[in-house]
Structure 1
Amino acid sequence: MNGSIISWLLLAIFTITIFSNAATASTSAQCLGVDQRSLLLELRNSLTFDPFMSSKLVRWDQSTDSWSGVTCKDGLVVGLDLSMESISSGINDSSSLFRLEFLQSLNLAFNDFDDTAIPSGIANLSRLAHLNLSNTGFTMHIPAELSRLTKLRTLDLSFFCNDDELVLNLERNLSSLIGDMRELRELYLDGVILYTEGSEWYNTLSSSVPKLEVLSMSYCSLYGPIDPSLMSLANMSVIQLSGNNLSSTIPRFFANFSSLKTLSLIDCSLQGEFPHEIFQVQTLQILELSTNELLQGSLPEFPENGSLKTLVLSDTHISGRLPDNIGNLRNLSRIELANCNFHGNIPSSFTNLLRLSYLDFSFNNFTGPIPSFSKSKNLTQVTLSHNSLIGPIDSTQWESLSSLLILDLGFNLLEGNIPSSLFTHPSIQELLLSDNRFSSQLKGFFYAPSHMLQKLDLSNNNIGGELPTSIWELRGLNYLLLSSNNFSGSFHINWVQQLRNLSNLDLSYNRFSIDATNTASQAFSFPNLTSLNLASCQLTTLPQFLANQSKLSSLDLSNNYIKGTIPRWIPNTIFLTLSKNNFHGFIPPSICKAINLEVLDLSHNHLNGTVPDCLMESLDVLNLRNNQLNGNIPENIPRTCNLKTLDISENLLQGQIPLSLASCTALEFVNIGDNQIDGTFPCHFTAMSRLRILVLRSNKLYGEIGCPHSHNTWQMLQIIDLSSNDFGGTLPVSLLASLEAMKANKDFNHLQYQFLDFYHDELYYEDTMSATLKDLRLELVKIWTIFTLIDFSSNKLEGPIPNTLGDLKALYALNLSHNVISGSIPPILGNLHQIESLDLSVNYLNGSIPPQLANLDFLSLLNLSNNRLVGNIPTSGQFLTFSKSSFEGNLRLCGLLLNKSCSITTKGTEEVGDNGDDDDSEKKWFYMGIPLGFVIGFLVFCGPLMFVRSWRFAYYRFWDKVLFKFSRP
């Protein structure tokens, strides 16, 4: 929508200029009749306006010879321009304005008439050819009387407002407004709600305003598809329909408009292939198609000396390689291709774009080196972040760009040294080089530094050495982000005090140690500092200067060596994390006096005592994980609870889960695991419809899982871990059936809570947790919304595995091990095509292994050990990758993985076929083989005795000796 608003503002300014030009011939007193002058003075006296903001009305006077904004002809007022005069009221149906009956042009744009209706008396101005009421603050219905202005050539009722309740709308169809305006050339209705059906508005335009040249109806609640009737408007030069739900392809007939200059279709739910012919329209100057994710296509070869000035395709699927001859667009000044999946090198022909002023190629797959833009003297912003660009930065190509304000090369594969000229550039305000492979040191780089630099981001590189002291000469810095590098040496925090404008400082995760001593003085403060990150900076004490930072909103001191108790003074921040330190003792009640606090993370310390009740009242995020807190979970939780994240796991908490926690209906993340909580399954949690993570593992909970009498469901739940409790009964069929998020992946993100927005940079708190995956306890630093897990292991669950589990096709991990589950493994589990970990071990499962499990292509861990399974182990698909331990403890399983042949059975063992059913033919041959084997054995032994005489005599002599030996006394 931003691109559309910019385009609209340009059009609005252009329109106002037209009206202003019509009124620039400010008449003298001699060209105004007495009655006309009287009407103007009466109008001035009736209007309410701010004289300090007015440049025209404030100068109107009976004795003056100048009437600003007034155009007259033959002593009659024919033009009135009162735009941007801060008028708030005074125009109604009886206003003297509507007695200026010879008016041909009226401009009241950009005033604020305090949410009143457009006066119907405006229809008295029957000679009007130009009417501009854009952004006047008029709301409610457009009066039907406007349709009587049949001589209008320009009508502008555009209305943009952030308040959905304050809208301007057309109560009837579009024909009721413009049906008789056959002279209309320009129509601006942006932001006006039009109640139209289907293609009605297309037909109205084609039949009612055949001379229309400019159509601007963005964000009018229109819906498509685009109708061929528009082709009849052959004179169209501007088409702006952004922000409507057109839901259609873009017709090729747009290329037939011989005078087309502007085509803006941002955020219109467009789809299909974009026609190449439109790119090549010789008159086209502005093409805006961004935020149409289903729109596809590629860029064509461009004709020589194309007229295109603005090309905005961001957030579409228009992709491929950039044509080598893109340099033919010599008038191009703005190009935005962000998040479009373009690839390949950026063509060197960009050096021909001398008028280029704005370029954004972020979030693509561009490779190769950065081309030269040294001839584009008007460039103000270059954004190439989030690509795969390689090589060093040319130290010379940026020096000649004296208008460059923003250079964003972050998140690429750039390497080498950072040119010192970038730090001394005379105009650059934002230099963003994070997440690359830059190395070496910054020593000497800030010689004669630029005072224009406001934002410097070098985070996530390999820059080493000590910080040069000249960095503190960058007096204009607002942002200094140096995290995750190899800076070393000692850093004195009071050096930063020289940067009086600094608002965001991030020194985290380097190899230098922060010296925060001798900073307790009240005079020591950073007057504008709002965000400070000193995580992993080898701090041993809590910096005392923090007590003086009145504007500090975000403070991260995590992963240090700070010891002692949490002080009673706590910075009144929005975000505070002291996690992974050595704090001990109680959580001070004074922490509740930090009235702005939304995010509090005290995890991974040595805190003891109880959880203060007040922490459950106003916070959005509370993380007390891995301490030694005891007592009960606070019970006095107010109905105004705002918690979105609650992590009190890995403590010594006792008692039951309080019923009042159900008041926290915004909760998305709940982790109470690894405590000593008892009671039954918390059915009151079903009121938390936004719940995504529920971890209750390793407690003393008992009873059945699920809430049979509850109608609420957890449709967003993606992780549920109830392992290592005393839950019994059968697996909860109704609960499993309600897990919609595990049935289909609908979004791809990770759990995070936005708590601040600094200078267009959003700051987040990211949830973390541990989980048992593939027999390993892993720490999930980022919890992706597509990651789904069910862990009911180590309980007393019984009964069969329900077929409902087969519906959870987005399930990533399932663990039902160490229970008393019986019955067979349902073949429907073969539908879990996303599953990577399946553990059903140590149960009483019987029957055979369903061959459908062999089709689970992503399955990397399967544990069916210690059950009562029988028959063949499948020998296809993923089963070829599993080890023997996956099947041990099933005495009647056989197959190659167990080195047990299924063709030879021991006494008391039935032979089972691959399909899991008893094979009757094999049983028949088995029993027939017994007498057959006896006969063959008898013949092999007795045959030679009967038919070989020498063998028979030897046999008799042997037995004679044996009998003689045993018969002797």
Structure 2
Amino acid sequence: MGYLMLLVVRVVMCVYMFMMFHFACLSSHLCHPDESSALLHFKTQFIFNTSFSEYFYEYECPHVYPKMSTWENGTDCCSWMGVTCHSVSSHVIGLDLSCGALVDNWSGIVHFPLFSKLQNLEYLYLSGCSSLLLKSETSVNHTFSNLMALQLLSSNITGWLEFSGKFPNLDYLKLYNNSLQEKVPEWIHGMDSLTYLNLSHNNFTLMDHFPWYRLQNLDLSFNSMADDISCFFCNATFLEIINLSHNKFTGTFPQCLANSSSPVDLDLQMNKLHGTLPDTFQDLTTLNLNGNQFEGLLPKSLSECSELVDLNLGNNQFEDTFPNWLQNLSKLEILVLRGNKLYGQIVNLKSENIFPSLIIFDISCNNFSGSLPKAYIQNFRAMKIVHDDVQSPLSYIEADWQVIHGTTEYDSSMVATIKRVSLPLTKIPRVFVIIDLSENKFEGEIPDDFGELHGLIGLNLSHNGLVGHIPHSLGNLTNLESLDLSSNMLSGDIPTELINLNFLEVLSLSQNQLVGPIPRGKQFDTFSNDSYEGNTGLCGFPLSIQCNNNVPLQQYPSSEAEDKFGFGWKPVAIGYACGMVLGIGLGYCVFSIGKPEWLVVLFGGKWTKRRSRGNRRRARTTLFQLLVVM
């Protein structure tokens, strides 16, 4: 009996689950007519041009597809591409037309308030609208009560200052690259519910005040804002990602940010901030202050930030010794201290855990002295790894956590100098492995340990006082694309092992004391004279000085010798060569014809016809040999 009851219960449950699933599936394909009509009306405002959009979205969309081409009258709108419906109510709750190959039709301007007819809309993504009017033509106050995420990218937005829409529950707002100007409008200031705000790549000049106490992620980069940020964020207690880079912000470093345990990623590069840094940092993943006017000592509290991945303090006025106390940060991947007033020797500490994850090490343009930091080079374990799986997608250095809709919202960025060019990187690939120790006062020899850093693509040791030979081990760096050893005192020859560097695009060995032949083959046949100028002992292609038995034939006399004799070495060489040819020629004629006889007899010759032939042969052979040698 109990068994039968259990069987009946199972059957009933199965029938119930089947019916629920069946009706849920049916309901998910029953689009509401008014919402379908609103979407079709929106479609009439656009045409599709995939070829145009592929160029327009080159840096924003990996794939462009005319999504609205699937929107047809008489079909279920819940099945249309870019449209998401609720699984039970079938109301349209999501509209994603980003990267959708949208180009405005000649019929007129797209009015944003028409989306208010979709009362259940929870997220809306648009991009590439060349005429998107936010302001309503009437005085109606449009309310988007359910909208939680709004993203408008690369659109010509008009009427945004007078926009009267209300977003009481908006959590995510991204207005990237829309050429918006003047100060941030009041309708954005009034969104108390925001946790994410991105207004980057516009022309905003003023923020006025900071009202978003719930905000966790703020991106105002690439604008023209000139606010004083000294106390800008002190009312925001939840901020975790702050990107104010590439603006004109002024003031000192906000003390409240250094005292807070909330900020994780802080990017203030390329502004006009000044003063000293507080020494109270607690927990950071990124600190980028490149291109400001900070001064004083480096804050030792950074050594307590165990999660620190990106530290960029370049191009400021810090005056301190090398921060050896950072060496045990096991997750640090980027260390940039270039362009400051740092000085002294880098102590070769005895440890096996020195910067184990570092892949970018740039301390150029300072006053460091002593020998190159061999102990550090030996322990750069991450630089010894080669990422050679070309089939896998390129990975970037980024924040370890994600925000709304599963999208990573912060990527490390920097301005890198490689291949003699300043290269702004909005994202840093993990294969971008570089060491730049140039423009310091380093002395001594180049350690062979560099040859173990197989992941390197850029090595710059130029403008120091390095001596000795170029290590043959550098030929092991098969991923190297740029090698600059110029303006040192390096001697010896150029190792032939460097021919193995198949990806080498930039080579500079100029202004050293190198000698011998320049290696030939592969990439070395593509370098110009500029790569070797200032090395008077080098010979071979591409230089005009030819080599013989690995030694230059022409030795250039000093200018003092030319001044002493009143003329240079070239006239002397020409005269000597002409005299030799003329003398040998005359000698040949004399012994050939035997006249004058007294001259032949004087040199012990006995003139006979048979001997004249033999002498003639010997004279030709000697002349040929001399001409070949000459």
Are 1:430 and 1:453, in contact at CA under 8 Å, matched by a contact in 2? Answer: no
Partner of 2:196: 554
The AA in structure 2 aligned to 1:458 is L
CA deviation vs aligned residue, 1:770-828 (integer Å, no higher than 9, x gap): 11111110011211112211011111111111111111111111111111111111111
Residue 427 in 1 paired to residue 78 in 2? yes
Q: Which residue does 1:487 correspond to in 2?
A: 130
1:829–1:590 CA distance, 2 compared to 1 (3 A) = closer
Task: Indicate if the aligned counterparts of 2:28 and 2:90 stay in contact, CA closer than 8 A.
Answer: no
Alpha carbons of 1:498 and 1:568: their partners in 2 closer, same or farther (altered >3 Å)? closer
1:23 maps to: 6
Distance 1:879 1:543 in 2: 58
Stretches of structure 2 that go unaligned for 5 or more consecutive residues are 11-21, 31-60, 558-575, 600-630
Moved more, 580-589 or 561-570: 561-570
Name the counterpart of 1:770.
Answer: 415
Task: Give, in whole Å, the separation in 1 of the partners of 2:474 and 2:73.
Answer: 59
- Alignment of 1:700 onto 2:322: no
Rate the CA distance shift 1:932–1:531 in 2: closer, same or farther, 3 A.
Answer: closer
Residues 578/424 of structure 1: CA separation in 2 closer, same or farther (3 Å cut): farther
User: Partner letter of residue 906 of structure 1?
Assistant: Q
SS for the counterpart of 1:610 is coil
Match 1:690 to one of 318, 331, 337: 331
**Does the alignment pair 1:620 with 2:264?**
yes
TM-score, normalising length: structure 1: 0.49
Q: Secondary structure at the match of 2:456?
A: coil
| Contact 1:429/1:454 (8 A) holds in 2 | no
1:266-665 residue pairs with structure 2 within 5 A? 412=63, 414=65, 418-421=69-72, 425-428=76-79, 431=82, 452-465=91-104, 466-467=109-110, 470-483=114-127, 485-492=128-135, 497-513=142-158, 515-517=160-162, 525-539=166-180, 540-564=182-206, 566-616=208-258, 617=260, 618-637=262-281, 641-665=282-306
State the one-letter code of the partner of 1:787. F
Alpha carbons of 1:495 and 1:623: their partners in 2 closer, same or farther (altered >3 Å)? Answer: farther
Q: Which amino acid aligns with 2:526?
A: T
d(CA) in 1 for partners of 2:99 and 2:8? 60
Comparing 782-791 with 669-678, greater Cα deviation is found at 782-791
Separation (CA, whole Å) in 2 of partners of 1:945 and 1:430: 102
**Which structure's relative contact order is higher, taking Cα pairs within 8 Å and 6+ residues apart?**
2
User: Contact 1:428/1:452 (CA < 8 Å) preserved in 2?
Assistant: no
Give the whole-Å Cα distance in 1 for the aligned partners of 2:275 and 2:351. Answer: 30
What is the distance in 2 between the residues matched to 1:715 and 1:684? 14
Cα distance between partner residues in 2 of 1:567 and 1:671: 28
Q: Secondary structure at the match of 1:538?
A: coil
For 1:675, the equivalent position in structure 2 comes to 316
After superposition, give the CA deviation of every residue in 1:59-112 in whole Å (9 maximum; x if it has no partner).
Answer: xxxxxxxxxx9xxxxxxxxxxxxxxxxxxxxxxxxxxxxxxxxxxxxxxxxxxx
Counterpart position of 1:195: none
User: What are the within-5 Å matches in structure 2 for residues 690-839 of structure 1?
Assistant: 690-709=331-350, 712-745=353-386, 749-753=395-399, 756-759=402-405, 761-839=406-484
Task: Tell me the equivalent position of 1:274.
Answer: none
Distance verdict in 2 for CA 1:432–1:709, change over 3 Å: farther
Q: Which has the higher helix share?
A: 2
Other-structure match for 2:553: 905
- Equivalent in the alignment of 1:366: none
1:562 and 1:726 map into 2 onto residues whose CA distance is: 39
Paired position in structure 1 for 2:626: none
CA contact (8 A) 1:703 1:727 kept: yes
Cα RMSD over matched residues? 3.6
Q: Is the 8 A contact 2:413 2:427 kept in 1?
A: yes
Amino acid in the other structure paired with 1:758: I
For the 8 Å contact 2:184–2:207, the answer to whether it is kept is: no
d(CA) in 1 for partners of 2:541, 2:253: 56
Sort the Cα spacing of 1:525 and 1:939 in 2 relative to 1 into closer, same or farther, 3 A. Answer: same
In structure 1, C-alpha distance between the alignment counterparts of 2:347 and 2:163, rounded to whole Å: 58
8 A contact 1:944–1:951 mirrored in 2: no
| Amino acid in structure 2 at the alignment position of 1:702 | Y
Whole-angstrom distance in 2 between the partners of 1:596 and 1:474: 32
Amino-acid identity (%): 34
Residues 255-277 of structure 1: CA deviation (Å, up to 9, x unaligned): xxxxxxxxxxxxxxxxxxxxxxx
Q: Secondary structure at the match of 1:893?
A: strand
1:579/1:935 CA distance change after superposition, 3 Å: closer
For residues 229-244 of structure 1, the aligned pairs below 5 Å read none
Deviation for aligned residue 1:657: 0.2
Partner SS for 1:852: helix
Q: What secondary structure sits across from 2:294 in the alignment?
A: coil
1:158 maps to which residue? none
Q: For 1:580 and 1:544, locate their aligned partners in 2 and report how far apart those are by CA, in whole Å.
A: 21
CA distance in 2, matches of 1:378, 1:619: 42
8 A Cα contact 2:66 2:102, kept in partner: no
Query: For 2:441 and 2:346, how far apart are their aligned partners in 1?
Result: 11
Equivalent residue letter for 1:547: H
Equivalent position SS for 1:606: coil
Q: Count residues in correspondence.
A: 516
Deviation per CA, 1:874-919: give whole Å up to 9, x if none. 111111222221122211111121122113612379xxxxxxxxxx
TM-score with structure 2 setting the length: 0.74
Give the CA deviation at 1:569: 3.0
- CA pair 935-861 structure 1, distance change in 2 beyond 3 A: closer
Local SS of the residue matching 1:880 = helix
Cα distance in 2 for partners of 1:25, 1:656 equals: 78
The answer to whether the Cα contact below 8 Å between 1:857 and 1:877 also exists between their aligned partners in 2 is yes
The separation in 2 between residues aligned to 1:874 and 1:951, in whole angstroms, is 56
Aligned to 2:570: none
Tell me how far apart the structure 1 counterparts of residues 283 and 173 of structure 2 sit (CA, whole Å).
Answer: 25
Contact preservation (8 Å) 2:134, 2:163: no
* 1:249-264 mapped onto 2 (5 Å cutoff): none
* Matched-pair contact (CA < 8 Å) for 1:568–1:588: no
Deviation at 1:753, TM superposition (A): 1.7
- AA aligned to 2:123 is Y
Runs of at least 5 residues in structure 1 that lack an aligned partner in the other structure: 1-18, 27-68, 70-354, 359-375, 381-409, 434-449, 910-930, 954-969
Q: Say if 1:945 and 1:420 are closer, same or farther in 2 by CA, change over 3 A.
A: same
Alpha-carbon distance between aligned partners in 1 of 2:348 and 2:140, rounded to the nearest angstrom: 59
Cα distance in 1 between the residues matched to 2:526 and 2:141: 57
- In structure 1, distance between residues paired with 2:208 and 2:515: 60
CA distance in 1, matches of 2:142, 2:265: 31
Residues 341-373 of structure 1, C-alpha deviations (whole Å, 9 max, x = no match): xxxxxxxxxxxxxx9x99xxxxxxxxxxxxxxx
Q: What CA distance in whole angstroms lies between the structure 2 residues aligned with 1:501 and 1:594?
A: 25
User: Hey, what's the Cα distance between the residues in 1 that align with 2:336 and 2:83?
Assistant: 39
Cα distance change on mapping 1:674 and 1:777 into 2, 3 Å: same
Q: 1:379 to 1:497 in 2, by over 3 A?
A: closer
Instruction: Name the SS for the 2:344 alignment partner.
Output: strand
Please list the CA deviations of residues 439-470 of structure 1 after superposition, one character each: whole Å capped at 9, or x if unmatched.
xxxxxxxxxxx973222222234312243554
